[in-house]
C-alpha cells in the first residue's frame, strides 16, 4: 500500500483481514472496498453517527461514487445510548427496508458505538452479512473496530448482548482525528496505554517519552501509536478470537471502568475511555494492595495516564456518584464472570498483566470503599 499507508494483518485463516492506517483513506474508500464486493454488486449500506455524517459523509460518498458504488445511509444518534435494542431494531429495519442482502457490504462509519451496533446488525442480518469498519475516533481505531466484538447494552449491563462477527476490512483514516474533540482524543489514548501496560514495556517507554505530543494530537506520533496498538490487538485476537484465555487481557481496566460507566448510567459525563483510564489505574493500585505489583509501577502508570489527559482517581471523574457497594455489584455482573465467579485483569508490573480468576470479593470490597472515600 502506497502513500504512507501502514497495513496490519489480522490472521484468522479464511476470515483474515487488513487494517489500513494512514491519511486520505475515507476519500479512497470506494477503490479500497470495491475488490471485496461480490460480483454484480454495486451498492453498499452505510450506518453513520449523525455527527460523523455531518462532517465526513460527503467525502465518503464521493469516494464511493468515484468507484461506481451507490449507497444508502442510516444515521444513528451519537452517544452510548444508541447501543440499544431500539436502535438495533431501527438499523435492521432500515437495512431490510432498503433491500440489503447477505452478499451486500455494510459500512460502520463512526466511533465505537456505531461500530458495535453496526457489527451486531450485520451479524444478525439474514444470519450474517459482511461489513467494513471505518472508525472515526481514536478509541475505535485502536480497539473496538478490531477483533470482531459487537454488542449493545441492556438493563443487565454493558455489552451483555452481542456476538463475535469479524469485519472484512478496517480503514483507520488519521485525517478524521483532526475534527475529534480533545476529550475524545484523551479517551482513545487510554486504550493505547492499555496495550503497553498489558505486555509491552518498550511501548510504555515510547508513550512516556511522547505523552505531550500524543495529548496534543501530533499526527505522526499518533500514527505510530495506532500501528503498535492495532498490531498488539491483532496478535492477541489471532491467538484467542473468542476470549477463552489470552484475549481477556485486553479487558485490563474494563471491569472497573464498566462498573464506573454503569454507575453513571452511561451518561456522556463519563466517556468509555475515561472509565477505562481510571479503571486501569485502579487495577494497578489493587494489584499493589494484593502485594503482586511494585508500588512504583502503579505510580508510573498513573503519571502516564495523567500526562495523556486522563483522570485516575474517582474524585476527578465526571458524573457520579460512585459508591463502593454499587461498583462491586456492577463488577459482579461483569460478562467476564465464570460460574458466578469474578474475573479480574491485574498486573505484576508494567507490561505484566495477568488474569485473576475466582477473585476474592472481600478485599476487593475494602479496596473499593477506600477508593470511593478517597474520591
Q: Which of 28, 158, 165, 254 is catalytic?
A: 254
| DSSP-derived secondary structure for 8-57 | EEE--GGG-EEEEEESSTTTTHHHHHGGGSPTT--EEEEEEEHHHHHHHH
For the chain, the C-alpha Rg in angstroms (whole number) is 20
Asked about 251 being catalytic, the answer comes back as yes
**Is-catalytic flag, 323?**
no
| Identified catalytic residue from 149, 262, 330, 336 | 149
From the candidates 247, 262, 335, 336, which is the catalytic residue?
A: 247
Q: Give 157's strand partners.
A: 154
Candidates 194, 258, 330, 336; catalytic one:
258
Catalytic site includes residue 272: yes
Exactly one of 56, 272, 285, 336 is catalytic; which is it? 272
**333 in active site:** no
Catalytic status, residue 149? yes
Give Cα separations from 176 to 1, 134, 137, 173 (angstroms). 20, 10, 8, 6
Distance of CA 331 to the CA centre of its chain: 19
Residue 191 is among the residues annotated as catalytic for this protein? yes
Question: How far, in Å, CA of 51 to CA of 232, rounded?
Answer: 30
Q: Kindly tell me the burial class for residue 86, based on how many C-beta atoms sit within 10 Å of its own C-beta (0-12, 13-18, 19 or more).
A: exposed
Q: Residues 233, 262, 330, 335: which is the catalytic one?
A: 233
Beta bridge partners of 108: 47, 133
Taking every pair of C-alpha atoms in the chain, what is the biggest distance, in angstroms?
A: 62
For residues 153 and 81, what is the distance between their CA atoms, to the nearest angstrom?
Answer: 8
Annotated active-site residue in 90, 153, 159, 251: 251
Which of 184, 241, 243, 371 is the catalytic position? Answer: 243
* Catalytic annotation present for 326: no
Whether 98 is a known active-site residue: answer no
Q: Catalytic residues, which ones?
A: 127, 149, 191, 233, 243, 247, 251, 254, 258, 272
Amino acid at each position: 500500500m502506497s502513500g504512507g499507508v501502514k497495513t496490519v494483518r489480522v490472521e484468522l485463516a479464511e476470515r483474515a483481514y487488513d487494517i489500513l492506517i494512514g491519511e486520505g483513506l475515507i476519500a479512497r474508500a470506494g477503490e479500497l472496498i470495491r475488490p471485496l464486493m461480490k460480483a454484480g454488486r454495486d451498492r453498499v449500506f452505510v450506518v453513520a453517527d449523525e455527527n460523523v455524517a455531518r462532517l465526513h459523509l460527503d467525502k465518503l460518498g464521493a469516494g464511493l461514487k468515484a468507484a461506481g458504488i451507490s449507497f444508502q445511509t442510516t444515521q444513528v444518534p451519537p452517544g452510548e445510548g444508541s447501543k440499544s435494542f431500539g436502535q438495533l431494531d431501527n438499523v435492521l429495519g432500515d437495512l431490510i427496508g432498503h433491500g440489503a442482502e447477505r452478499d451486500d457490504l455494510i459500512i460502520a462509519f463512526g466511533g465505537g458505538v456505531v461500530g458495535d451496533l453496526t457489527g451486531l446488525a450485520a451479524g444478525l442480518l439474514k444470519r450474517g452479512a459482511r461489513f467494513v469498519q471505518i472508525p472515526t475516533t481514536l478509541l475505535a481505531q485502536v480497539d473496538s473496530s478490531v477483533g470482531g466484538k459487537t454488542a449493545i447494552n441492556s438493563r443487565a449491563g454493558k455489552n451483555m448482548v452481542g456476538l463475535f462477527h469479524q469485519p472484512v476490512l478496517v480503514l483507520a483514516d488519521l485525517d478524521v482525528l483532526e475534527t475529534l474533540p480533545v476529550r475524545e482524543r484523551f479517551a482513545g489514548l487510554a486504550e493505547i496505554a492499555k496495550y503497553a501496560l498489558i505486555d509491552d514495556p518498550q511501548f510504555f517507554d515510547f508513550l512516556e517519552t511522547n505523552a505531550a505530543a500524543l495529548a496534543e494530537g501530533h499526527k505522526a506520533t499518533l500514527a505510530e501509536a495506532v500501528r503498535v496498538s492495532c498490531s498488539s490487538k491483532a496478535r492477541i485476537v489471532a491467538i484467542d478470537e473468542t476470549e477463552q484465555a489470552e484475549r481477556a487481557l485486553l479487558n485490563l481496566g474494563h471491569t472497573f471502568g464498566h462498573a464506573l460507566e454503569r454507575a453513571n448510567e452511561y451518561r456522556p459525563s463519563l466517556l468509555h475511555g475515561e472509565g477505562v483510564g481510571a479503571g486501569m489505574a485502579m487495577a494497578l493500585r489493587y494489584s499493589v494492595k494484593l502485594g503482586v505489583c511494585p508500588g512504583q509501577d502503579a505510580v508510573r502508570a498513573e503519571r502516564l495516564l495523567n500526562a495523556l489527559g486522563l483522570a485516575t482517581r474517582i474524585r476527578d471523574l465526571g458524573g457520579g456518584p460512585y459508591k463502593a457497594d454499587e461498583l462491586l455489584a456492577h463488577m459482579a455482573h461483569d460478562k467476564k464472570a465464570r460460574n458466578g465467579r469474578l474475573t479480574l485483569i491485574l498486573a505484576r508490573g508494567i507490561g505484566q498483566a495477568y488474569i485473576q480468576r475466582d477473585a476474592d470479593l472481600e478485599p476487593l470490597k475494602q479496596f473499593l470503599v477506600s477508593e470511593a472515600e478517597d474520591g
